[in-house]
A and B are shown apart, each in its own frame.
Chain A
Amino acid sequence: MHEETKLPENLRECLSKGVLKRLPLTFLPFVNQQLSQWNHLFPNERRSVERLLLFVASLSSEQSEALFRELVGIEEKMEVRKWHFSTSEQTIQNSSQLAASPFFQEWRRAVQAVFDAADEHASKTAGSAQTQANRLVLLGIPRALAVDPQTAWRRWQGTGRALNIAPEGRNSTQSALEFLLAGTPGALIDPSSGQIAGSLSESGAVAANAWVVDAGRSLIDALLAANTPRAHDDSAILVSYTRLEAYRQNFSHEMNTMRKDLADADAVFNRLRQVDVTRWCPAEVSGKTDLSEFLRALYLSGNGAVIFGNSFVEWAASEAFRRARPTFLAAQFGVRSKPKPFTGVAVFDNPDQVNPLPAVDDLPGSAIDAQMLALYVWLAARRFEEYQRSTVCVCLAESIAQAYVVAPPEFQLPKQTAPVTLEQLRSSLREWIT
């Protein structure tokens, strides 16, 4: 955590000219934290911080004052300077104070206005336009999770169409995503090269450009078993809830030592931000500091990522879209256990430790969770411009042999009326992202 920060030259230059002094107080925790964690940010995040700071640095002092005038006024009304407010990093106490302020919503709108201005500036800057590569979001609800064919896609509100999947001869123990990603030749991950979806690696020097997230471990195990050395390169991210058990358990154990007060919460949070996690990382994560730091942030930000595999998948995918904007993301959901009697829901770091009753699968509950969270993964992608046009989303519900496909018109497969085999689907998807 104490390695030298490798900021780009243009950013160092604007920092040396004092750009941070122009920023309102409530911007500083975020900006300082991003700068201090620069080495662990994904390229997309670095671009974003650069865009903001270079924009502010490009302004005259009058323009800068005008840009922040509203926000500074709100900070004064909030009396931020009287708070115990960290400017070096985001803290729970900072969050609590901001959220409790009657001016919180006003403040949020003012923050958005600043970022909108930075975006607008960036969009006018030559070279900032991004090429629109075709993208793919692949979601899998395994056969064990029975979904109701009458309501399976209701929440998708007609944004795509259901496609029947024809029976075919794949190994019955293999999930559809395993077949698509790590199956026989033709898989979206090529065993000979280890590249995800072939062409991705041609642009694939881009770090964290392809993600596979698994609520269990079978999908990641299959990918690793395919002996794909390139799966370990920086372009491919493989994360499995189950394979991360040591990381997760150690983290939640630390959380559970926390006393019940705000100061201690921040102290524990700080400790968890700094603890060496490499010893807890499985092979596919160790050595990738951006990924191990991503997981640290993921676990610290709640949303059930430490507790339930399906929540982990949803939140990891959502954060991957937000932070890394991958071209390809596959997410496989799984089964969670029923809460054990007298322990409440997800209260302790290890339910098996506090209650020796055997864990019992909650298949109906897991199916409901997976259906909702699969939609949420897609909705998380859709919030970002990169996924609003040339992106195909396929959600496979194996129990009803259907896929729901949301795709732009140029993606041909959904226009077929006959059932398609997984091989045909794989071929179309491969073509789409190649």
Chain B
Amino acid sequence: MKYEVCPAAEMGSALEHQLSTDTSRRTFLRAAGLLAAGLLVPQARADEGPHANAGSGHKLVLVVIGGVRRDETFSAEGLVNIPHLSANLLPKALFYRHVRNEGVTAHFNAISSILTGNWQHVDDWGKLAPTTPTLFEQFRKGLKVDRSDTWVVASNKALTNLIGASSDANYGPGYGANVVFPKQLMLQAVADALRGGRTANMADRSKVEAELESAMEGSNYEGLGWNVFDASDRLDPRVRSMVQTAIASFVKGSGPTSGDELTFFMTREVMRKFAPQVLVVALSDVEAAHFGSFSLHLAGIRTADRLVDQLWQEIEVNPDYRGKTTMVILPEFGRDPDGSSTNGFFNHRANVDSTRDTWMMALGSAVDRPQIIERPIRHIDLCPTLAELLGCPPIAGMGAKLQEFHG
């Protein structure tokens, strides 16, 4: 089985340190490795389609876009990379200029901290679930909501389906979200084509669709890491239909073919078919930075900028979302500064502002007026804020509600 290199690039990363003046100290802290994540626990159905909204009726779309520095985004020189965010969306947004990740600046821990409102210190590779309840569990248990109302659509394979629910004994997978990794489907299709001697198909758009569908329909879903299969590893028919539509849109369009593009098409289809009340989207093209290509990293930022704008457009025209949805966009963290001993933009593990200090934008129903907030907030403040918007019963946690959001 092939592994995806992006999380693998993370490996070597865990211990690269900031201590730079001596060979030993740097080597001491450096660990190399080749890690790919993925616990494979088929466990749930997608269940039903759109239905009456629970709780407050508020819908949430949360977009997390990997690691990006302020320098390449909301800075004078970075604005060129985010024309949609800065010109189209910012004028109507609630914008927090300083949002701190004070936890582990690795993908699984960062996203699970955002989703739980508590700093998580679990395995970096998604081997362990977050230890406190996710927003999905709070929502589903507190308001008796169906699983199909909570989805995670993620490009980043440093995540696993354990991102959808915590290990808290009072909550757990029974209250978790549907989790799908569209990019993994693409990788699986390429791997299958390679194994089957059909690589020529990957050069032909008309055949790529069949390869992607074949990867989805295959009897062994292990590599995908999704949790929308039933106990016999069969895909729910409605999910199958949704995925097929997304694949067709992805392949037949003349646009780019990155993992985030497929994630966008899958997200849009989830919205159209299931209209979940809580939808989390994790984009990761920016993580090309781990391979040292600054240009591909910038391209990933521009892709995320465009896709976020398209998602907002979908919210504005989709009757299941229009007028009752809040969309929040934030990076998981920044990236390390130029000249750091952690190899600068390649990585995101330095304990400095470049890595920890990011931004957040909110649009839609919870925003009563555009404003820019200079007061620093924390990643963990988002979960209790969103939980209240949804009408969830409050639970104890490290995060504090953001007063600028209005239900």
* Pairing of A with B: yes
Q: Which residues of A contact B (CB under 8 A)?
A: 27, 30-31, 34, 44-45, 48-49, 51-52, 90-92, 94-96, 98-102, 104-105, 108, 111-112, 115, 119, 155, 255-262, 265-266, 268-269, 272, 297, 300-305, 307-308, 310-311, 314-315, 318, 322-323, 336, 339-348, 353-357, 362, 364-366, 368-369, 372-373, 375-376, 379-380, 382-385
Question: Is B176 at the interface (CB under 8 A from chain A)?
Answer: no
A82 to B: closest C-beta gap in Å:
15
> Are A265 and B11 touching (Cβ within 8 A)?
yes
Which A-chain residue is minimally distant from B33 (CB atoms)?
A92
Query: Are B124 and A302 in contact, CB atoms less than 8 angstroms apart?
Result: no
Q: How far is the CA of A31 from the CA of B24 in the complex (A)?
A: 9
Are A30 and B23 within 8 A (Cβ)?
Answer: no
Contact A269 B21 (CB under 8 A): no
Residues in B with CB closer than 8 Å to A297 are: 32
A34: chain B residues at CB < 8 Å are 24, 27
Interface pairs A-B: 10 shortest CB-CB: A311-B292, A92-B33, A95-B31, A304-B292, A304-B291, A365-B295, A95-B14, A260-B38, A302-B12, A30-B28
Residue contact A365 to B296, C-beta cutoff 8 Å: yes
A96-B296 contact, Cβ under 8 Å, with A302-B8, A303-B346, A342-B202:
no
In the complex, the answer to whether B36 meets A260 with C-beta atoms within 8 Å is yes
In the complex the two chains form, is B2's CB within 8 Å of A336's CB? no
Say yes or no for B127: interface residue by CB 8 A criterion. Answer: yes
- Would B24 and A376 count as touching, CB distance under 8 A? no
Contact A256 B3 (CB under 8 A): yes
Chain B positions 29 through 61: 1 when the CB is less than 8 Å from some CB of chain A, otherwise 0? 111111111111000000000000000000000
When the two chains form their complex, are residues A356 and B199 in contact, meaning their CB atoms are under 8 A apart? Answer: yes
- CA distance in complex: A245, B45 (Å): 46
Interface size classification for chain B: 35 or more
Within 8 A of A (CB), among B84-143: 104, 106, 109, 119, 121-125, 127
Would A45 and B8 count as touching, CB distance under 8 A? no
> Can you pick out 22 interface pairs between chain A and chain B where the beta carbons lie within 8 Å of each other?
A30-B24, A90-B31, A91-B33, A95-B14, A96-B123, A115-B25, A255-B3, A260-B36, A261-B38, A297-B32, A300-B12, A301-B32, A302-B8, A304-B292, A304-B293, A307-B5, A339-B258, A339-B296, A342-B257, A344-B4, A347-B187, A384-B20
Using known A-B contacts A45-B27, A92-B11, A100-B122, determine if residue A111 contacts B22 with beta carbons closer than 8 Å: no
Out of A262, A300, A369, name the residue touching B32 (CB < 8 Å): A300
User: Quick check: B23 and A301 within 8 Å, CB to CB?
Assistant: no
Decide if B15 touches A95 in the complex (CB within 8 Å): yes
- The residue of chain B having its C-beta at the shortest distance from the C-beta of A302 within the complex is B12
Asked whether, in the complex, the Cβ of B38 is within 8 Å of the Cβ of A369, the reply is no
Please report the C-alpha to C-alpha distance between residue A303 and residue B137 in the assembled complex, in whole angstroms.
37
Q: For B345, list chain A residues within 8 Å (CB).
A: 372
| Residues in A neighbouring B127, C-beta threshold 8 A | 261-262
A49: chain B residues at CB < 8 Å are 24
B2 near A348: Cβ-Cβ < 8 Å: yes
Q: Is the CB of B32 within 8 A of A265?
A: no
A265 to B122, CA, bound (A): 18
In whole angstroms, how far apart are the Cα atoms of A80 and B25 in the complex?
Answer: 19
A368 partner, pick from B24, B104, B294, B347, beta carbons under 8 A: B294
Report the separation of the CA atoms of residues A100 and B116 in the bound assembly, to the nearest whole angstrom.
Answer: 17
CB-based contact A343/B202 at 8 Å = yes
> Which candidate, B336-344, B358-366, B389-397, is the interface stretch facing chain A?
B336-344
Given A259-B3, A385-B21, 8 additional A-B pairs, CB 8 A: A111-B19, A265-B35, A272-B34, A303-B9, A345-B291, A346-B291, A380-B343, A383-B20
B35, A366: Cβ atoms closer than 8 Å:
no
Out of B3, B14, B208, B299, name the residue touching A96 (CB < 8 Å).
B14
On whether the beta carbons of A344 and B183 are closer than 8 Å, the reply is yes
Minimum CB–CB distance for A11 against chain B, Å: 13
Q: Could you count the A-B residue pairs with CB atoms below 8 Å apart for me: how many are there? A: 261
The contact of A265 among B19, B27, B36, B203, by CB within 8 Å, is B36
Closest to B127 in A: A262
Main secondary structure of the interface of A (DSSP, over half): helix
- The complex places the Cα of A378 from the Cα of B64 at a distance, in Å, of 33
Give Cα distance in the complex from A248 to B79, angstroms: 37
- Which residues of chain A have C-beta atoms less than 8 A from B106's C-beta? 99
Cα–Cα, bound, A366→B294 (Å): 9
Evaluate contact between B21 and A347: CB separation under 8 angstroms.
no
In the complex, A369 Cα to B96 Cα: how many Å?
31
Q: Chain B contacts of A323 at CB under 8 A? A: 23, 27
Which residues of the other chain, B, contact A269 by a CB distance below 8 angstroms? 32-34
For the complex, what is the distance from the CA of A25 to the CA of B227, rounded to whole Å? 39
Partner of A302 from B4, B9, B200 at Cβ < 8 Å: B9
With a cutoff of 8 Å between Cβ atoms, the chain A residues found around residue B32 in the complex are 90, 92, 269, 297, 300-302
Contact B37 A260 (CB under 8 A): yes
Whether the pair A336, B290 counts as a contact (CB closer than 8 A) is no
Say yes or no for B18: interface residue by CB 8 A criterion.
yes
Residue B186 is within 8 A (CB to CB) of chain A in the complex: yes
> Are A308 and B293 in contact (CB-based, < 8 A)?
yes
A362 to B288, CA, bound (A): 15
Pick from B15, B23, B38, B257 the residue with the most CB of A within 10 Å. Answer: B23
How far, in Å, is B31 (CB) from chain A's closest CB? 3
Residues in A whose Cβ lies below 8 Å from that of B285: 345
Chain A residue at minimum C-beta to C-beta distance from B25: A115
Please give, as numbers and ranges, the residues of chain A lying within 8 Å of B22 by CB-CB distance: 48, 115, 119
Contact between chains at B19 and A112 (CB < 8 Å): yes
Once the chains bind, are A115 and B121 in contact (CB under 8 Å)? no
B291 touches A308 (CB 8 A): yes
What B residues does A368 contact at CB under 8 A? 294-295, 298
Nearest Cβ distance between residue A339 and chain B, in whole angstroms? Answer: 7
B194 contacts the other chain (Cβ, under 8 Å)? yes
Known: A314-B292, A382-B339. A100 touches B3 (CB 8 A): no
Which residues from chain A contact B299 at a C-beta distance below 8 Å? 365
Decide: A379 and B104 in contact? CB cutoff 8 A: no
Q: How far is the CB of B16 from chain A (nearest CB, A)?
A: 8
Chain B: CB-nearest residue to A112: B19
Residues of chain A lying within 8 A (CB to CB) of residue B205: 341
Per-residue interface assignment for chain B, residues 175 to 204, with 1 indicating a CB less than 8 Å from any chain A CB and 0 otherwise = 000000001001101100110000110110
Bound together, the chains give a CA A353 to CA B106 distance in angstroms of 31
Does the CB pair A322–B290 fall under 8 Å? no
B70 in the interface (beta carbon within 8 A): no
Choose from B18, B25, B194, B296 the contact partner of A353 (Cβ within 8 Å): B194
Name the contact of B293 in the complex, choosing from A105, A311, A344 (C-beta under 8 A).
A311
